[in-house]
Amino acid sequence: MSTSFDREHPKAPGASAAGTPAPVQRSGATVAANDRREVVAREKDRYGGFKWGSAFFGWLTATGTAVILTALLVAAGATVGIATGADAGDARTIGLAGGLTLLAVILVAYFCGGYVAGRMARFSGVKQGIAVWIWAVVIAVAVAVAGAALGDKYDVLDRVGGFPRLPIGGDDVTTGSIVAGVIALVAALAGAVAGGLAGMRYHRRVDAAGLGR
């Protein structure tokens, strides 16, 4: 039975019989988005981090891509400075053009390698890219040590053919060659990290479609 007070002071919309506010209802899209984030967070906590097996296959992809790209560029006559037989008078120009071409090859190759590692591992794209780069450095050092100790015939990367190398001879270690080597390492790392992030984002789009936006 309503009283005069009830008629003069009606309950606010959504209020319960006791006068307390009713719980706020979240939309289906908000609930789905929160659930998806929780699921992905649990998966990342369990399966995130460095995945060295995925990174190794990423390194293989980067190496194969570098060989293919270098072979195509050599066939097209575009790798001045990487190819041999240049005139000494044009050494500076050839070195610059060859260095830029080499950096482009390294960036693309290690982007592909990082992408493969990121796609395989699903999480931690930056870490997968770094792991690909670490594989490259470790293997290059191991091969160089083996070549120095056992002879050039054990320089496997050189015998592959077409693999991009800095134009530095064994007796030509200068400040410029060291800087060029550092730039090449940075380019490889940047490409691998960018590729790892791209490979990881693919899975986030898949999660968004399957678990709700």
Quote the pLDDT of residue 166. Answer: 47
User: How is residue 96 written in tokens?
Assistant: 């610059």
156 vs 148: which has the higher pLDDT:
148
Rounded to a whole number of angstroms, the distance between the first and last alpha carbons of the chain is 47
Residue 51 pLDDT more than 80? yes
pLDDT at 6: 54
Q: Are 201 and 120 in contact (CB under 8 A)?
A: no
The DSSP 8-state label assigned to residue 15 in this structure reads B
Task: Indicate the domain borders of the chain.
Answer: 48-211
Most distant CA pair in the chain, distance = 106
DSSP 161: S
Distance CA 210, CA 191 (A): 29
10 φ/ψ angles, rounded to the nearest 5 degrees: -65, 155
Between 192 and 211, whose confidence is greater? 192
Spatial CB neighbours of 119, under 8 Å, sequence gap ≥ 6: 199, 200, 202, 203
Q: Map residue 43 onto helix, strand or coil.
A: helix
> Mean pLDDT, the chain, as a whole number?
74
Residues 6 or more apart in contact with residue 168 via CB below 8 angstroms: 177, 180, 181
- Confidence band (pLDDT; 50, 70, 90) for 173? low
Separation CA 30–CA 139 (nearest Å): 48
pLDDT at 108: 96
pTM over 0.75: no
Report d(CA 53, CA 131) in Å as an integer: 9
Strand partners, 15: 21
Tens digit of each residue's pLDDT (9 = 90 or more) over 52-97? 999 999 999 999 999 899 888 878 765 545 544 444 444 444 466 7
Task: Map residue 12 onto helix, strand or coil.
Answer: coil
Q: Which one, of 128, 121, 122, 166, lies nearest residue 144 by Cα? A: 166
Backbone angles phi, psi at 21, to 5 degrees: -60, 140
What is the structure's pLDDT at 37? 73
